[in-house]
Structure 1
Amino acid sequence: MIRQIFKNSKCCVAALALVLSTSALAQEYPGKLVKIVVPFGAGGIADLTVRVVAQKMSDSMKQPIIVENRPGAGGIVAADTVAKANPDGYTLLLISNGTAISAGLFKRLPYDTLKDFAPISTLGYFDLAMIVNKKLPIKTAADLISYAKSNPGKLNIGTINRGSTQNLAAEMFVSMAGIDALIAPYKGTPEVITAVTTGEIDVAVEILGPTLPQIKAGNLNVIGVTSTKRFAGLPNVPTVAESGLPNYQATSWNGLAAPAKTPKVIIDRLNKEINLAVADPDVKRRLLELGVVAQGGTPDSTKNLLASDIAKWGVVIEKAKIEKQ
């Protein structure tokens, strides 16, 4: 009996020590600069999005948050850096649908996309736009599908590099619509926009943000956005799903993750700060100007989103017969 009481007492002491340690950790964090590693170059939508949110978080947490751009190898360089970082909440990774795509594009990764990271929250979602050359008699996704079926093999769709979100969104459209079309990869967004404007290609699939100024100026003919809801900044532009291809959806998103084994109390604190930041009216306005709909989430919902996108884009990659690197 005495031995059992002693054993129970030791368990209680250990549990109390854990509670006190966790409580102290929660109060102390963050005690120094926090770094967010971004797998893209400076100036892009993802980079600008995380900088807007990070500044708001920094103000709230009263600690500097810096953004370190580490592009390369489809995001692998940045992700591997964070996967191997100390799980203390001071080194974070910008994750996205691109993180999910890389899981299907590469034969081997130096990390496990689902096991080596602790997703924290989404930051926002951003649409792709389906843009058509203004000389073509196409106003909706239904028109586009009809045109392609009447001209088999003649329709060409421009995107950026093969295996990108834009490229896979185009591949998925062709597959779901059951049309015969050529998907042509270009070096970058400016080249894609120029090609569809001049008529070098018939259709372009591109991130909405960089095209917004030209869309609003009337220089580009946009027949639809690729999410399940219309973009608030262009309320008169329908979704592809509602204008001709039901169930089609190809939304891009950004979020933050920490190395696996980061204490839950830190993940929860960061999640709280992210959700407060993206709910701020000024942050929402600034992101909307970039073509991003600010939206946070829970660690579980973010992990589920990442897992579902790995499965979704993996199927598209297989159907498109894109050779794994």
Structure 2
Amino acid sequence: MKSKRFFKAALLAATLPALMLNSTLATAQDDYPSRPITMVVGYSAGGATDILARLIAKSLTEELKQTVIVENKAGANSNIGAEYVARAKNDGYTIYVGTIANTINRSLYKDLRYDFVKDFEPIGLMATIPNVLVVNPKLPFKTVQDYIQYAKENPGKLTCASSGIGSSINMSCELFKIQTGTDILHVPYRGSGPAVTDLLGGQVDSMFDNLPSSLPHIQAGTLRPIATTTSKRVKALPDTPTFAEEGVKDFVVQSWFGLNAPAGTPEPVIKRLNEALNKALAKPEVVAAYDKNGFTAPEQPNSPDSLKQYTQAEIDKWKLVVEKANLSAN
């Protein structure tokens, strides 16, 4: 009898810590979020990713009743920010704005220290946007054919800025060069913001920029839009033709942004964030801001699984493009 009581006591002592831990984790998930959340952007301030992140962070703050802070960790075409979050604690308090660049990077970089599939839990798609070819208005060309002619008459002299090697901005330029047989010099920056600044200053000639970061300058007349990388004209730029209209067929590039958490983040936390994101996307002020800035909201249901499938499809698509263009960042 004594040995049986001893065995029960020993068993209770062994299981109690695990029970207490599980209880603590469950309570933490039920109370989530109980403190501020950091939303990491892999680019510098001022670009499309940063603009979108700050817009969504404001609405998430209202939905979650906790402050969502945007933190910029620029460099290596967003790899620095992605690696930082991949190694963060998987408790839902550090999340990442993944982009089309992260799916391109899977093929472009041979020594990545994170895996965008294995190291992240998808939360939901945030938005999609077109790219637009913009030039310094001091340059003589006003159409795509003018741009092509200038590039062919001045091989290697026309410059094309981007937010980094492998970004959708860079890949748009590379695809354009392949399809038109032009020699255009790529000039990478640490984010769209600094690239646009130099474009405005005349240090570079052109850029296949994400629409939101160039739109205010287009509206102010300080940048000239040539064409958009869409199948139809963009609502925010009704007078700007598509590349197809200008004679460059099958040239469609859609940039996108998705919210992700470190792998292993509890499912209830992912669900809470997904619900908050979708509620934020439905807010009238967010809908109005999307229209104003050229963002397109994702179709519903916007689930973690749908972002997971979309991410994998993008990885497969851009792997073929990287191989065809013979690109490498290493």
Q: Which category of TM-score, normalised to the shorter sequence, fits these structures?
A: 0.7 to 0.9
Residue-by-residue CA offset, 1:120-173 (whole Å, 9 max, x unaligned): 11212222211356665653x46655x479859488352235433222111112
Residue matched to 2:315: 310
Residue 214 of structure 1: aligned partner = 217
RMSD of aligned residue pairs (Cα, Å): 3.1
Residues in 1 aligned to 2:71 and 2:197: alpha-carbon distance in whole angstroms: 25
Consecutive unaligned residues of structure 2, counting only runs of 5 or more, are 1-22, 190-194
Q: How does 1:224-303 map to 2 (within 5 A)?
A: 224-295=227-298, 297-303=302-308
Name 2:78's counterpart in structure 1. 75
Offset, 1:273: 0.9
3-state SS of paired residue (1:127): strand
For 1:1-325, what aligned pairs fall within 5 Å after superposition?
Answer: 27-131=30-134, 136=140, 138-139=142-143, 141=144, 147=149, 151=153, 153=155, 156-160=158-162, 161-177=164-180, 179-185=181-187, 187=189, 188-195=195-202, 201=205, 203-295=206-298, 297-325=302-330
Q: What's the offset of the Cα at 1:259?
A: 1.2
CA drift at 1:213:
2.9
Q: CA offsets per residue over residues 14-55 of structure 1, 9 Å max, x none? A: xxxxxx999867643223322212222233332231122112
**Cα gap change, 1:143 to 1:74, in 2 (>3 Å):** closer
- Report deviation, 1:240: 2.1
Match of 2:11 in 1: none
Q: Structure 1: which 5+ runs fail to align? A: 1-19
* Structure-2 change in CA distance of 1:144 and 1:40 (3 Å): closer
Aligned length: 299
1:56 deviates by 1.0
What displacement does 1:96 show? 0.7
In the aligned structure 1, how far is the partner of 2:321 from the partner of 2:140?
28
SS in 2 for 1:181: coil
Q: Which moved more, 1:254-263 or 1:37-46?
A: 37-46
Note closer, same or farther for the CA distance 1:113–1:186 as it changes in structure 2 (3 Å cut). Answer: closer
Aligned residues of 2:235 and 2:294 also touching (Cα < 8 A): no
Conserved in 2, the CA contact under 8 Å of 1:83 and 1:259? Answer: yes
Matched residues in 1 for 2:136 and 2:58: separation?
A: 39
Query: Are the counterparts in 2 of residues 215 and 222 from structure 1 also a CA contact under 8 Å?
Result: yes
Aligned to 1:16: none
Letter in 2 for 1:159: A
**Contact persistence 2:136–2:199 (CA under 8 A):** no
Identity rate, percent: 32
Q: Deviations over 1:226-263 (max 9, x none)?
A: 13443221123232244433332222222210111222
TM superposition shift of 1:274: 0.6
Report the TM-score, using the length of structure 1 for normalisation. 0.78
Whole-angstrom CA distance in 1 between matches of 2:74 and 2:174: 25
